[in-house]
């Protein structure tokens, strides 16, 4: 099983974007999916499926441990270019992945995602998909934020906590080079400036790396 994650013990910078009144117990450790004739985690398509299935399994168990019911996303939809589904009347855009609360689905530009996979490794998938599922969690918890960047950084933190739990459970295994691959993907996705007032701000490379590390090292409860 090909997998992606790493322990970022050097990135313990604190970025305040959320509180602690949300699910996230470290006891949630999902079981690996049943084996099929086509092993998961060896191709682009199977890595997408693995990232989605294991991440949702983690959140289902985490919600259940807190007496809540997690609602899986209704669709996981690939598209190409500008041909994706709209979200509340807003058209999809190329080179993007997004969670839509209206319809509770995730969509992604498959050509763009494959290019990231080919050029930057499978780490792109294991950062982006748990991040988008983090937005699905926020929607179910009715999380409120003053700024959009706080929402994005919390989703990064959730992604780090999710991957950490999956590695500890044995559902994912690390590989040589995963640490550098993760840092590279997060840095590439960072904003060039620290302008938190921009509606599309996601945080700088350093901020995204730091909150991901917080989630990985401390669990999703710390997000």
In this prediction, residue 70 carries a pLDDT of 97
- 11: its two tokens: 């990135």
Provide the pLDDT for residue 194. Answer: 61
Distance (Å, rounded) from C-alpha 185 to C-alpha 182? 5
H-run or E-run covering 124: helix 123-140
Give the pTM. 0.79
Report the alpha-carbon distance of residue 211 to residue 222 in Å, rounded.
10
DSSP 125: H
Phi and psi for 213 in degrees, rounded to 5?
Answer: -65, -40
Q: Is residue 74 a contact partner of residue 105, using CB atoms and an 8 Å limit?
A: yes
Mean pLDDT by runs of 10 across the 223 residues of the chain is: 32 28 43 35 87 97 96 96 93 93 96 90 89 96 88 93 92 74 64 55 78 92 94
| Other Cβ atoms closer than 10 A to 198 | 12
Tokens of 40: 């998961």
Rounded (10°) angle between helices 178-188 and 110-120: 130
Phi, psi of 75 (to 5 degrees): -155, 155
Q: Which residues contact 157 (CB under 8 A, 6 or more apart)?
A: 17, 18, 134, 211, 212, 214, 215, 220, 222, 223
Q: Which two tokens stand for residue 211?
A: 């909150």
């Amino acid at each position: 099983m090909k997998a992606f994650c790493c322990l970022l013990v050097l990135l313990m910078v604190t970025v305040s974007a959320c509180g602690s009144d949300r699910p996230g117990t470290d006891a949630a450790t999902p079981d690996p999916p049943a084996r099929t004739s086509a092993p998961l985690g060896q191709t682009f398509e199977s890595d997408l499926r693995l990232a989605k299935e294991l991440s949702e399994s983690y959140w289902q168990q985490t919600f259940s441990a807190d007496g809540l019911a997690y609602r899986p996303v209704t669709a996981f939809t690939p598209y190409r270019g500008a041909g994706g589904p709209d979200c509340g009347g807003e058209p999809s855009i190329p080179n993007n992945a997004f969670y839509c609360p209206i319809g509770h689905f995730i969509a992604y530009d498959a050509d763009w995602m494959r290019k990231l996979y080919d050029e930057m490794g499978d780490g792109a998938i294991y950062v982006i998909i748990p991040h988008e599922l983090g937005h699905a969690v926020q929607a179910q918890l009715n999380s409120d934020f003053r700024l959009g960047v706080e929402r994005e950084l919390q989703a990064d933190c959730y992604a780090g906590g999710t991957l950490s739990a999956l590695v500890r459970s044995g559902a994912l295994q690390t590989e040589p080079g995963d640490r550098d691959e993760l840092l590279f993907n997060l840095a590439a996705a960072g904003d060039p400036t620290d302008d938190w007032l921009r509606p599309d701000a996601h945080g700088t490379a350093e901020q995204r790396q730091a909150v991901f590390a917080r989630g990985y090292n401390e669990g999703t409860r710390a997000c």
